[in-house]
Copies of this chain bind each other. A is one copy, B any other.
Amino acid sequence: MQPNAQGKSFEIPQTMQAWVLGGPQELSLTEKPVPAPGPAEVLVRVDAVAICGTDLEILYHGLPAMIEGELPFNKNFTPGHEYMGTVVKLGAGVDEFSIGDRVTVEIHAGCGRCERCREGMYTSCLNYGKNYGDQSKGHRANGFTTDGAFAEYAVNHINTLVHVPDAMSDEEATLVVTAGTAMYGLDAMGGLIAGKRLAVIGPGPIGLMGVAVAKALGAEPVILTGTRDTRLALGKKLGADYVVNVRREDAVESVQRITAGQGVHYVIECSGASNALNEAAQMVNRGGRICLAAFPLEPVPVDVAYLVRNNIYVFGIRGEGKGATHRAMALMSQRRFDATIIHTHTFPFKDLPTAIKYQRERIEDAIKVVVKMKDPCD
């Protein structure tokens, strides 16, 4: 039991409750040892965790777990990666965080030794998945390749932690990594967003946070396209200057009309729709840039000639690199936008399967469903 500077300390049990993945779609609640943090790591008591679309992919298909050639089934694996909590134990050499600190997380702890990590691109770590056995490189991606947060405790490398200010609720804190992904996409496209015309395709959580972050950084206009008016309405609340329901209007024509034929400078594609990249290309002006934050599962026809003839750059982004999560937190802690409006439901830990069902089936128009470790009705 390590006390913190204020004498705060936490009883840490030997075992904890944790959901583990059996076969596809089989989550069961079990008992696991509480893990111990190594050097440069801390133990986090999970306080809240949001369900991500990727969690559903993992549960159903074992992807994009991205351990080459391996699936996560029947390995006593605990998913869950969009979480926040409280630091309850420090590994050797950690003074960057204190016992009792509230923290939220990003996913990727790079190995720190491969070529990409050395250049700061830790979400593209070339030793992804290597945290086991003799040749462990110390990489972690909690909820993907190392145990995640559908459990009472999780070990985190300090590189994945962001301090949560007192005024921010647990629920909001679970959304920071989503905003961080949007921020990373903007950074990849050059980051000078103020005064630029920008479209977001797809009002899912990343798309909505893309609207919010781009607007906070001064983009104008911000145009959001999607299929559901309720989602588009949230986009407006988060800063979209225009929304386009593509069931009623053509997305490209609308963007061109809104921009008086000039097109936008940037597109963040968050829909994964088959034709989204082609539409994005038709939305940007010559020399424009597109960030791909979502993707169709199958190869799709792409008009490559249009990309080349128009000097369009396309940035596939993986995760939320380059400190983007910290920068997104800065905007959120300064109340530049209200991320909480995409948080729609809360369930207690024991009801994780229900939470997942809500997320997956979009019951009651669920966007972000959060599981609280303490029963919210307590």
Question: By the criterion CB–CB under 8 Å, are B287 and A329 in contact?
Answer: no
Using a CB–CB cutoff of 8 Å, the interface residues on chain A facing chain B are: 39-40, 64, 66, 92-93, 95-96, 112-113, 115-126, 128, 134-138, 158-159, 183, 187-188, 190-192, 194-196, 216-218, 220, 262, 277-278, 285-287, 292-297, 299-305, 307-319, 321-323, 326-331, 333-334, 336
| CA gap between A326 and B245 in the complex, in Å | 30
Taking a contact as CB atoms closer than 8 A, the residue among B113, B301, B312 that contacts A316 in the complex is: B312
Indicate if the CB atoms of B120 and A118 lie closer than 8 Å.
yes
Add 14 more A-B contacts to A195-B331, A314-B314 (CB < 8 A).
A93-B135, A113-B159, A116-B287, A120-B120, A194-B331, A195-B323, A195-B330, A196-B327, A218-B330, A218-B334, A286-B318, A308-B317, A311-B317, A314-B316
Q: Give complex CA distance A326, B304 in Å.
A: 28
Identify A113's interface contact among B96, B216, B220, B310, CB under 8 A. B96
Question: Cβ of A218 and Cβ of B331 under 8 Å apart?
Answer: yes
A311 near B318 with CB under 8 A, answer yes
* Given known contacts A124-B286, A137-B93, A218-B334, A309 and B318 CB-to-CB distance under 8 angstroms: yes
Give Cα A40 to B158, complex, Å.
18
Q: Give every chain B residue within 8 A of A329 (Cβ-Cβ).
A: 195
CA distance A292 to B306 in the complex (A): 11
Contact for A302 among B188, B218, B286, B304, CB less than 8 A? B304
In the bound complex, what is the Cα–Cα distance between A135 and B326 (angstroms)? 24
For residue A353, give the distance in angstroms from its CB to the closest CB of chain B. Answer: 27
**From A124, which residue of chain B is reached at the shortest CB distance?**
B287
Which chain B residue has the least Cβ–Cβ distance from A239? B334
CB atoms of B308 and A295 under 8 A apart:
yes
The 5 closest A-B pairs by CB, nearest first: A195-B330, A120-B120, A124-B287, A112-B112, A307-B316
When the two chains form their complex, are residues B191 and A119 in contact, meaning their CB atoms are under 8 A apart?
Answer: no
Least Cβ–Cβ distance between A248 and chain B, in angstroms: 26
Query: Chain B residues with Cβ under 8 A from A333's Cβ?
Result: 220
- Nearest-CB distance from A318 to chain B (Å)? 4
User: CB-nearest residue of chain B relative to A128?
Assistant: B286
Q: Distance (Å) between the CB of A337 and the closest chain B CB?
A: 11
Give Cα A220 to B336, complex, Å: 12
B residues less than 8 Å from A292 (CB atoms): 304, 307-308
Q: Which residues of B contact A330 (CB under 8 A)?
A: 194-196, 218, 220
* Cβ contact within 8 Å between B286 and A308: no
Q: How long is the Cα–Cα vector from A113 to B109 in the complex, in angstroms?
A: 10
Measured between beta carbons, the chain B residues less than 8 angstroms from A299 are 278, 301-304
- Please give, as numbers and ranges, the residues of chain B lying within 8 Å of A300 by CB-CB distance: 301-302, 304
A159 partner residues in chain B, CB cutoff 8 A = 112-113, 118
Please name all residues of chain B whose beta carbon is closer than 8 Å to the beta carbon of A301 when the two chains form the complex.
Answer: 299-302
Are the CB atoms of A315 and B313 closer together than 8 Å?
Answer: yes
**Known contacts A64-B309, A113-B40: A195-B327 contact under CB 8 Å:** yes
Residues of B within 8 Å of A317, CB to CB, are: 308, 311
- Check A116/B192 contact, CB under 8 A, given A307-B295, A310-B316, A318-B309: no
List chain B residues, Cβ under 8 A from A318.
286, 308-311
Which residues of B sit under 8 angstroms from A183, Cβ to Cβ? 194
A126 touching B304 in the complex, CB below 8 Å, given contacts A66-B309, A96-B113, A309-B316: no
Contacts of A191 in B (CB 8 A): 190-192
A323 is contacted by which of B112, B119, B321, B334 (Cβ under 8 Å)? B119
Assess the A286–B116 pair: CB atoms within 8 A. yes
Question: Do A287 and B121 touch (CB < 8 A)?
Answer: yes
